[in-house]
A and B are shown apart, each in its own frame.
Chain A
Amino acid sequence: MTALAAEGEWQRVSPKYVWVDLVARFVPGAIVTGLLFIPALASHLTWLFALPAISFIVLVIVLAFTPRRVRSIGYRLREDDLVFRRGIMWHRVVAVPYGRMQLVDVARGPIARAVGLAELRFVTAAAATGVTIPGLPEAEAEALRDRLVALAESRRAAL
């Protein structure tokens, strides 16, 4: 598995995606932490402040690992298939034959758009495939989409 993740040249996502991921995780985390203050403030029980404290510590750890997590995202265009990997604690490596692609979506979230990034989503007939490459520069995402569509077209197989 580790060997699988190490072999070959992996395409990395843009380092700017770290910021997108930070904001996307910080905002809900901060809201949850804020909400967890309510029981302590409402009941005047000092130990209840442990809830927001724990939440805050978890949030800091999650954020601290963001650069590492973003670095773990990689993809590789092989001759007949695309390989995608992600995760530092829970590794996942997926291989999708080009001929299996039904759709390629390019999506831009508000935060990603601010730094000029987009994400690429592959749809196969199986929902579990779940390959979404985040943090691609917009031009690169579109070029990649066109290339993948062409590859899928040339290797199209019956469903």
Chain B
Amino acid sequence: MTEAGERAWRLSDGEWHRLHPATPLLRGGIIFIALLGWVVVQFRDLWINIFLGSVVGEEPPEDPATSWILAHSWLAVLIAVGVLVLILGFGWLSWRMHEYRVTDELIEEREGIIWRRHRRGRLDRVQGVDIARPILPRIFGAARLEISMAGSDGSIRLSYVASRIADTLRAEILIAAAYRRSEEAAQQRPAAAAQPGVVPAPLASRAPAIANRVNAVVADFMAPELDQEVAPESVVEMHAGRLVGSTALRLAPVLLIVIAGAVAAGIWRPFTLIFLLPILIAIFGLAGREVLRALRYSIAATPDGIRIGYGLFSTANDTLPPGRIHAIEIRQPLLWRPFGWWRVRINKASSSAREGGSGLSSSTMLPVGTLDEVLRVLGLVLPDWAEPTAFTGTPPRGRWLRWFSWRRNGFAFDDRTVVIRRGALWRTLTLVPLARVQSVAIEDGPLTRAMGLARIEVHTVYGVVSAHIGALDAGDAAAMWRDTERLTLAALT
């Protein structure tokens, strides 16, 4: 075991531990710098007087505050030192009072000097642990650990811990959580662990999850070295050219609309073009940020789940147990078609679904990739998945509702997922693992009913992916509704 490993192993002994010493500076860093800037600007006259006084000559300062300070220089220095000591003392105290511990059952965090805040999360509710390294903490060798909890429990953020223990601590929390879960399951369902895996995703039903987890835990213990620092090999390699090209093509329609609008406005009233600039800057800024983030994209399977890394300057690593993925969408904008590029997005169960480890939209699993790469990424979630050959589609009378896409509109089941295919201009394929389906609805309205059509909506956790399909034959839709429910129940037990 490495030294970092030993250190971290001692960290989950149920004792209270403090965070990285630079934490107060990093958390209050922006405020501190802003304050410093304000002081510099506010007392410009003062600095000129102190440092350049002899050069420019003793001009009486105009600013009353500056003249007061010059008149009482010792007092001013005393106040400045006092404030500095106060800030440092406060920071030191807040660091002393900010602690966390990992016990057999809980993760706890407590902080605050006057108002104490105490958060605790049950280990068996841990969904995943993300590591984020924004640029400033990275310089200090610190990282943020975000432990997301199931359901509405929220998440616990340890900001910041030392980078060198972050990975081990993460692994350790996940292992402890797995132990906790398997212990609990052993009490509740003695036979659970003996069941063979029905669904590939751990956590799908608990049975295979526990088996996998326990195996992983055992493997970890048997291994002579627990070296978490070695990043597993990514299954997809990101090419800069493709990334830039795909982003440009994706934004091209928006840009065209903006430019067309600008031309129209320019003919009408040229000065309105001024307003165009911020819009363009925003668009390019967004595109640039996305490209930068995805440049160092990597995705790989680990015993804890799928590990997605991204970010060039501020890096982030999200580890996603496959069971946390509730829906997958493979999508192709019209302009990507000549190049055969696709994008993979997911819905995941997490309180931090809106933001990933570093405030990036973590719903993107693969920013851009060829079909082959998409299938490799899919293979991490659903091993050996292949697109079903027979889709139940839209009947001829439904063409009026799906002008372009009636040929593609359809659904299919395989043994683990319900597959929905939609769209001709924006080709979309949505996969929902049956064990993840929350509920299923069938709907119709006066018009669709008259046409003998209906709509199905498969409900998953909140996210960007929506699994619905309309313009189905009413009979087919009813069959799909029944089958989805039947297969979901089968996957649950």
Contacts and interface: CB of A to CB of B under 8 A. Distances in A.
Contact of B446 (A89, A92, A126): A89
B440 interface: yes
A96 to B, nearest CB: 4
A158 B459 contact: no
Given A125-B349, A129-B441, A158-B205, 20 more contacts: A1-B449, A1-B474, A4-B478, A90-B443, A91-B444, A91-B449, A92-B442, A92-B443, A95-B439, A95-B485, A100-B439, A124-B438, A126-B438, A126-B439, A126-B460, A128-B439, A129-B438, A131-B439, A155-B493, A159-B349
Contacts of B435: 157
Interface string B170-182: 0000000000000
Given A81-B485, A157-B206, A102 B442 contact: no
Nearest to A92: B443
B477 interface: yes
B299 interface: no
Interface string A95-116: 1110110100000000000000
Interface size class of B (residues with CB under 8 A): 35 or more
A96 B485 CA distance: 8
Contacts, number: 93
A41 B340 CA distance: 63
Contacts of B492: 80, 97, 99, 155, 157
A92 B151 contact: no
B204 interface: yes
B205 A1 contact: no
B323 interface: yes
B489 A125 contact: no
Interface string B448-485: 01000010010111100000000000100110010001
A103 to B, nearest CB: 9
Nearest to A131: B439
A94 B50 CA distance: 76
Determine chain B's interface SS by DSSP, over half rule: mixed
Contacts of B326: 125
- The 6 A-B residue pairs with the shortest CB-CB distance, nearest first, are A126-B438, A126-B459, A96-B439, A94-B441, A129-B439, A95-B485
B477 A159 contact: no
Nearest to A4: B478
Interface centre among B206, B439, B462 (most CB of A within 10 A): B439
Interface string A6-40: 00000000000000000000000000000000000
B445 A93 contact: no
A79 B454 CA distance: 26
B323 A158 contact: yes
Interface of B: 150-151, 203-206, 209, 323, 326, 349, 435, 438-446, 449, 454, 457, 459-462, 474, 477-478, 481, 485, 488-489, 492-493
Contacts of B445: 89-90
A127 interface: yes
Contacts of A100: 438-439
A2 B449 CA distance: 9
A92 B444 CA distance: 7
A97 to B, nearest CB: 6
Nearest to A129: B439
B459 A97 contact: no
5 contacts: A3-B478, A94-B439, A124-B459, A126-B459, A158-B204
A1 B444 contact: yes
B444 A96 contact: no
Contacts of A4: 442, 478, 481
A130 B476 CA distance: 24
A65 to B, nearest CB: 13
Given A92-B442, A93-B441, A96-B438, A1 B477 contact: yes
Contacts of B457: 128
Nearest to B207: A158
Contacts of B485: 81, 95, 97
Contacts of A129: 438-439, 441, 459
Given A1-B444, A93-B481, A128 B459 contact: yes
Contact of B205 (A90, A126, A157): A157
B252 to A, nearest CB: 32
A76 to B, nearest CB: 12
Contacts of B349: 125, 159
A97 B435 CA distance: 11
B125 to A, nearest CB: 9
Contacts of B462: 126-127
Contacts of A125: 151, 326, 349, 438, 461
Nearest to A128: B459
Interface centre among B203, B438, B443, B445 (most CB of A within 10 A): B438
Interface centre among A81, A96, A126, A129 (most CB of B within 10 A): A126
A102 to B, nearest CB: 6
A99 B492 CA distance: 8
Contacts of A124: 438-439, 459
A95 to B, nearest CB: 4
Contacts of B459: 124, 126, 128-129
Nearest to A102: B151
A69 to B, nearest CB: 14
Nearest to B466: A128
B489 A97 contact: yes
A81 B459 CA distance: 15
Contacts of A81: 485, 489
B478 A90 contact: no
B74 to A, nearest CB: 63
B183 to A, nearest CB: 15
Contacts of A127: 462
